[in-house]
A and B are shown apart, each in its own frame.
Chain A
Amino acid sequence: MNKTPNNKAWFMVLPVLALVAFSAVIPLMTVVNYSMQDTFGNNVFFWAGTEWFQEILHSNRFWAAMGRNLAFSAIILCIEVSLGIFIALNMPRKGWGVPVCLVLMALPLLIPFNVVGTIWQVFGRIDIGLLGRTLAELGIAYNYVNNPVHAWITIILMDVWHWTSLVVLLCYAGLVSIPDAYYQAAKIDGASRWAVFRYIQLPKMHRVLLIAILLRFMDSFMIYTEPFVLTGGGPGNTTTFMSIDLVKLAIGEFNLGEAAAMSIVYFLIILLMSWVFYTVMTNYGTEKR
């Protein structure tokens, strides 16, 4: 069937375009302008060229923060994806257990980020927190305030507690969409539990899993509120992620030019990663057809 090409529908996109321009494009242009200049306030700017970018690219502080971001994203992706699949596989498919599990899984996702940080801040305190106090009673010298390893473990646990549910819900949606006929055929063939997972469940989940990985990567790579509330980036700078460092640079030190240059580098990395994930998501499996 031949369709008549009509591009007039693109005009319907204009309101969204105006909204995005107002909320994203114009601020981004301003950040680019700031990244090329230095200012001491009062709308007075001095041309700095690419100096801020050079400073950022040669700064140990920036690379250390990026290393922490990458390490954090890698750790939580490994834990949350495997744990999410495991929980989704073991959730009930019918009966009263389904709504109960779904509500329980959705609960952490409904809690605001700063509240999650506060909950874990209190939870981990060695004087009044359930976790901190229990560990202290067991003779474990746990203290996330002055021990970098403990701070990292607490932040990872907090993120796993907050976001594994998202992976679970997405995987569960993928699993319930598999028709029973697949399982019946596997049973007739005498397939093992692993074979069912490897050849039926995992392929059927791959799209939702890619979405889960993309969402979790994006969120974890721009994490700010929870570690900021829990540790404030400390002890020292050991939990200072790029977003926290950016705020310290822009608001704490009022170094707007350098902060703008750092924002652009940060933005480009996220843009690249998102494009890679998006391309993989949209093209995965198409070559097999």
Chain B
Amino acid sequence: MDLSWMAWTWPTATFFITIALLLVSMGVWEYFSPGGHPRVGLLRFETTRGDRLFVSLLGSAFINLAWLGLVGPNLWWALALSIVYAVGVFRWV
């Protein structure tokens, strides 16, 4: 199947593979610990693991955009900040 129209590159493919792996790991986590572990955290409303992943990914996207707009094109620090943010979300939200 010719997928050249999708203009794949290795960096973008790696990005999507990472997202897919994250989703698969969430599925595995859910299999071993069903129920989504709902709890009321910092935001004062109930969130499940899936919600926390969504908030982490969306927040990370904005962290990277803000970094690009305010700091510069080197996104490694933004990535590190996103990971810290995601850990915080999974821990406290």
Contact = CB atoms under 8 A, between A and B. Distances in A.
Interface of A: 5, 26, 29-30, 32-34, 36-37, 39, 43, 45, 47, 49-51, 53-54, 57-58, 265, 268, 271-272, 275, 279, 283, 286-287
Nearest to A256: B7
Interface string B29-46: 000001000000000111
Interface residues of B, number: 23
Contacts of B7: 30, 33-34, 37, 39, 43, 45
Interface of B: 4-9, 11-12, 15-16, 34, 44-46, 54, 58, 61-62, 65, 68-69, 73, 75
Nearest to B2: A43
A5 B4 contact: no
A50 B76 CA distance: 13
Q: Is the interface of B mostly helix, strand, loop or mixed?
A: helix
B54 A275 contact: yes
B6 A29 contact: yes
Contact of B45 (A32, A265, A279): A279
Given A53-B65, A58-B69, A272-B62, A283 B6 contact: no
5 smallest CB-CB distances across A and B, nearest first, come from A57-B69, A283-B45, A33-B7, A30-B6, A33-B12
B79 to A, nearest CB: 12
Q: Is the interface of A mostly helix, strand, loop or mixed?
A: helix
A267 B62 CA distance: 12
Contact of B9 (A36, A43, A57, A268): A36
A185 B61 CA distance: 51
B75 A272 contact: no
A238 B15 CA distance: 37
A79 to B, nearest CB: 30
A28 to B, nearest CB: 10
Contacts of A53: 65, 68
Contacts of A43: 4-5, 7
Nearest to A49: B73
